[in-house]
Copies of this chain bind each other. A is one copy, B any other.
Amino acid sequence: MGFYDWMIWTQRYINGTLGLSVPKNTNPLRFGVLGAADFSPVGLFDPASTHPDVLVVAIGARSLAKAQAQASKWNIPLAFGSYQEVLDQPDIDAVYIPLPIAHHAEWTIKAVRAGKHVLCEKSLCCNQDEARAVQKAARETGKVVLEAFHWQFHPVNHVLKTLVDSGKFGRMQSIVTEMRTVFAHTPDDIRLKYEMGGGACLDLAYVFSGLRYFVGSKGEFVVTRTKPTLYPNDKRVDYKMEADLDFHPDNGEPAIHCKAIADLTQPRILGIIPTIEPPRLKIEFEYATVKLDGWVAPHYPHNLLITDKRTNITAKQKHYNFGPKWQAIGETYWTTYRYQLEAFVMKVRGLEPPHWIDLEESVEVLGIIGDVYEHAGMAWRGKTVEEMSV
Seen from chain A, the residues whose Cβ lies within 8 Å of a Cβ on chain B are 16-17, 20, 22, 159, 162-163, 165-166, 168, 310-311, 313-324, 327-329, 331-333
Contact = CB atoms under 8 A, between A and B. Distances in A.
B318 A318 contact: yes
Nearest to A161: B328
B322 A319 contact: yes
Contacts of A22: 310-311
B313 A321 contact: no
B166 A313 contact: no
B321 A324 contact: no
Contacts of A314: 16
Contact of A332 (B317, B329, B331): B317
B320 A322 contact: no
Nearest to A165: B328
A297 B310 CA distance: 27
A313 B328 contact: no
Contacts of A317: 320-321, 332
Nearest to A164: B328
B320 A332 contact: no
24 contacts: A16-B313, A17-B311, A17-B313, A20-B313, A22-B310, A22-B311, A159-B322, A162-B322, A162-B328, A165-B328, A166-B327, A166-B328, A166-B329, A168-B328, A313-B331, A315-B332, A315-B333, A316-B332, A317-B320, A317-B321, A318-B318, A322-B322, A322-B323, A322-B324
A11 to B, nearest CB: 14
Task: Determine chain A's interface SS by DSSP, over half rule.
Answer: loop
A352 to B, nearest CB: 16
Given A318-B318, A333-B315, A162 B17 contact: no
Nearest to A315: B332
Nearest to A316: B332
Contacts of A313: 16-17, 20, 331, 333
A16 to B, nearest CB: 6
Contacts of A163: 328
Contacts of A331: 313, 315
A168 B327 CA distance: 11
Given A162-B327, A166-B329, A322-B322, 16 more contacts: A16-B313, A16-B314, A16-B315, A17-B311, A17-B313, A20-B311, A22-B310, A22-B311, A162-B322, A163-B328, A165-B328, A315-B332, A315-B333, A317-B320, A317-B321, A322-B324
| 8 A-B pairs closest in CB distance | A166-B328, A315-B332, A162-B328, A163-B328, A324-B327, A168-B328, A317-B332, A20-B311
A172 to B, nearest CB: 14
Nearest to A332: B315
A216 to B, nearest CB: 15
Nearest to A325: B324
A319 B323 CA distance: 9
Contacts of A323: 322
A277 to B, nearest CB: 26
Contacts of A328: 162-163, 165-166, 168
A306 to B, nearest CB: 8
